[in-house]
Structure 1
Amino acid sequence: MSKNNAGDAPGGIGLFEKWLSVWVGLGIVAGVSLGYLAPALFGFLAGLEFASVNFVVAVLIWAMIYPMMVAVDFGSLHEIGRRPKGLIVTLAVNWLIKPFTMAALGVLFFRYVFAGFIPPDDATQYIAGLILLGVAPCTAMVFVWSQLTRGDPAYTLVQVSVNDVIMIFAFAPIAAFLLGVTDIAVPWDTLLLSVGLYVLAPLAAGALTRRIFFQRAATTEKAEAGLAAYTERLKPASMLGLVATVIVLFGFQGEVILQRPFLIALIAVPLLIQTYGIFVIAYGAAWLWRIPFSIAAPCALIGTSNFFELAVAVAISLFGLNSGAALATVVGVLVEVPVMLSLVAIANRTKSRFPG
């Protein structure tokens, strides 16, 4: 077993990783400040996109999840069938629970609890945005959350891949049902491009990296040791990519956050309840079913985070760029990183309660 680096915290967690929530907090402040002070710069960056996928964000996310893909051992994928519990929990939560609880919370808060603060027409828009978030489980960032909880990379890949396949067929019908429409238009270019950028491309790069290490090493043990050292060196860059992503995302919405803080706080309330609630359901089910922690943590975190690119793209295409639905999906982006970091911390602190 390799020794920790000098800057590592106990348990192999690096100094930067240990204080990641602090760096993310500073990134949020920096992003909002820069977005307000230099809106033209972030307007330019926001324009670097295709099919509603921003290439700056895509590159940063790609840099974050590449180390995770390097750790994927394709030879172990056939073992997934012998451990179906984590995949069952993920699919049940993502497609049988999450969309409907998000819709219910949206109606509860914007039709009743916040009725005195929100005009009815605006409330309908915010509910629509929340529904779109609830029907879009995470594709890219879940690899980061899995890495932070030392999740099984091969199993996480399978979970994300199966979710992506189901999303192609289930997103439109479920969203249409919950929105009360029958002609919802799914931006297939956004969906397919995102899967390509966030899953297929880094997976191919990771597989190529593994192949190079195994071809150059004299033995399998030396190849595995070299890969472990290589991914360890990549960790700081991966975490810096996360902070840079936070700065960019919050910079895009810096003016909105400062101009409409009360409205954003109202939209955030059901999102926070949904996120923590879904985590409790999935994580609790994994604990009751005695699923190993390396599978339990990622399977709970997949359901709690969202495929925000898809949700934002659909909201804009259906309701318009300046609609309440689009704003609600953007608020989902804003609250996701801090909340997910708190859930990662909860998972790591309760690791001993799970087998394996």
Structure 2
Amino acid sequence: MSDVVHEHPRADHPEDAAVLQRLSTLDRFLPVWIIAAMVIGLLLGRFVPGLDDALATVEIGSVSLPIAIGLLVMMYPVLAKVRYDELGHVTADKRLLGASIFLNWIVGPALMFALAWLMLPDLPEYRTGLIIVGLARCIAMVLIWNDLACGDREAAAILVAINSVFQIIAFAGLGYFYLELLPGWLGLGDGATGGGLDVSMWEIAKSVLIFLGIPLLAGFLTRTYGEKTKGREWYENRFLPRIGPAALYGLLFTIVILFALQGDTITSQPLDVARIALPLLAYFGIMWAGSFALGKGLGMTYERTTTLSFTAAGNNFELAIAVAIGVFGVTSGQALAGVVGPLIEVPVLVGLVYVALWARRFFATDRDSEVPA
């Protein structure tokens, strides 16, 4: 991820066209690299015998070690770019914080529940898996999408931290509500799991501490030490451009490994994958567009509207897959639904990055409000 991306190019400004031309090959053709990574992963998982078992041999926090490494490499450069001394401006924005909590913990799970029951009434295992995906709010990959779309990096860090806290406290309880209580109240059945999700707060907390806590601490310490010893200008203009590409390399590596782990399962059940994909496509589209419209209606800048939208639309597929496998087994329909989640989420949210950048012309931006020196 090159530093020039974050000059916030606008197509209607001539000087921004030059900025776009200076994007690295990695940035300019990102959708191509992501699609290629998905295809490579699927082919490896399909045609290399025993690869999925080998990759899953060692785990960190219920996640395969290679995926864990990819996630940490992916998140560190993004969190190293956060200006931690400016976080107070985000916490003072009550509209943003309130809208994010409302979208993530009320609208998101309810929407996925509704779509899963409407589109998969005859497939209870897949339906349950999708509901679990809806409960797992994004804390990792959303930072990449937000950064690519030139969203507010400091706001993303705060919203991800809030999601992490809510996830630890509320995940198991919401699982019981949406999988057991609500279906019974609505006369849809006797529940899906026979007692909710048997997953402890500590297991969720451990996942959050590993996949958010480690790169967050590393990013904070890097910026603090770098600015103290070399100054902000050196840190942002010399150091960050050097480590920036590692985020996308980590993303592509993670995608290859993720799809290699489940390549055989996905390619051997194409019709089931298609059925699962339909509610996911509807979910990502509705959540993102609704959040974008809400941000516009609340008078937010482009940067914060974008951050609100991607943090609301993204999901924590690592947690969803780990919970589905832990509760229902690796070969279960619930686990397959969790695996299909990133298969749909990755290309859809990459596409929405470009939609967001196009829609930027209709918003006030943080740069518009800056006072010239």
What TM-score, normalized to structure 2?
0.85
User: Do 1:190 and 1:310's aligned partners in 2 also have CA atoms closer than 8 Å?
Assistant: no
User: Do 1:48 and 1:55's aligned partners in 2 also have CA atoms closer than 8 Å?
Assistant: yes
Count of matched residue positions in the alignment of Structure 1 and Structure 2: 339
Residue 43 of structure 1, aligned match among 53, 59, 72: 53
Select between 225-234 and 91-100 the one with higher mean Cα deviation. Answer: 225-234
2:130 paired residue number? 130
Matched, 1:215 2:228: yes
Report percent identity of matched pairs. Answer: 32
Matched, 1:104 2:114: yes
Q: CA separation in 1, counterparts of 2:116 and 2:49?
A: 31
1:205 paired residue number? 218
1:143 paired residue number? 143
Matches within 5 A, 1:28-39: 28-39=38-49
Q: CA separation in 1, counterparts of 2:4 and 2:144?
A: 23
Matches within 5 A, 1:194-273: 194-217=207-230, 220=231, 223-273=232-282
| 1:294-353 deviation per Cα after TM superposition (whole angstroms, max 9, x unaligned) | 211121111111111221222223322221111111111221211110111111111121
2:303 paired residue number? 294
Select between 281-290 and 65-74 the one with higher mean Cα deviation. Answer: 65-74
| 1:151-186 deviation per Cα after TM superposition (whole angstroms, max 9, x unaligned) | 222211110111111122221222111111544322
Matches within 5 A, 1:173-212: 173-180=173-180, 182-212=195-225
Q: CA separation in 2, counterparts of 1:314 and 1:234?
A: 33
Q: CA separation in 2, counterparts of 1:314 and 1:338?
A: 23
Tell me which amino acid in the other structure corresponds to 1:331.
V
Structure 1: gaps of 5 or more residues: 112-119
User: Do 2:276 and 2:340's aligned partners in 1 also have CA atoms closer than 8 Å?
Assistant: yes
Q: CA separation in 2, counterparts of 1:9 and 1:272?
A: 32
Matched, 1:90 2:100: yes
- Give, in angstroms, the shift of residue 148 of structure 1: 0.8
User: Do 1:129 and 1:325's aligned partners in 2 also have CA atoms closer than 8 Å?
Assistant: yes
2:286 paired residue number? 277
Residues 36 and 214 from structure 1, CA distance in 2 versus in 1: closer, same or farther, beyond 3 angstroms?
same
Q: CA separation in 1, counterparts of 2:361 and 2:234?
A: 27
User: Do 2:51 and 2:261's aligned partners in 1 also have CA atoms closer than 8 Å?
Assistant: no
Matches within 5 A, 1:163-174: 163-174=163-174
Q: CA separation in 1, counterparts of 2:316 and 2:53?
A: 22
User: Do 1:136 and 1:310's aligned partners in 2 also have CA atoms closer than 8 Å?
Assistant: yes
Q: CA separation in 2, counterparts of 1:140 and 1:324?
A: 25
Tell me which amino acid in the other structure corresponds to 2:128.
A
User: Do 1:51 and 1:189's aligned partners in 2 also have CA atoms closer than 8 Å?
Assistant: no
- Give, in angstroms, the shift of residue 30 of structure 1: 0.9
- Give, in angstroms, the shift of residue 42 of structure 1: 3.2
1:325 paired residue number? 334
Residues 183 and 22 from structure 1, CA distance in 2 versus in 1: closer, same or farther, beyond 3 angstroms?
closer
Q: CA separation in 2, counterparts of 1:188 and 1:322?
A: 24
Q: CA separation in 1, counterparts of 2:21 and 2:96?
A: 25
| 1:73-103 deviation per Cα after TM superposition (whole angstroms, max 9, x unaligned) | 2221222233222222221111111111111
Residue 306 of structure 1, aligned match among 306, 309, 315: 315
Q: CA separation in 2, counterparts of 1:350 and 1:12?
A: 21
Runs of 4+ in 1 over 4 A off after TM superposition: none
Q: CA separation in 1, counterparts of 2:200 and 2:265?
A: 25
What TM-score, normalized to structure 1?
0.89
- Give, in angstroms, the shift of residue 28 of structure 1: 1.3
RMSD: 2.1
User: Do 1:36 and 1:251's aligned partners in 2 also have CA atoms closer than 8 Å?
Assistant: yes
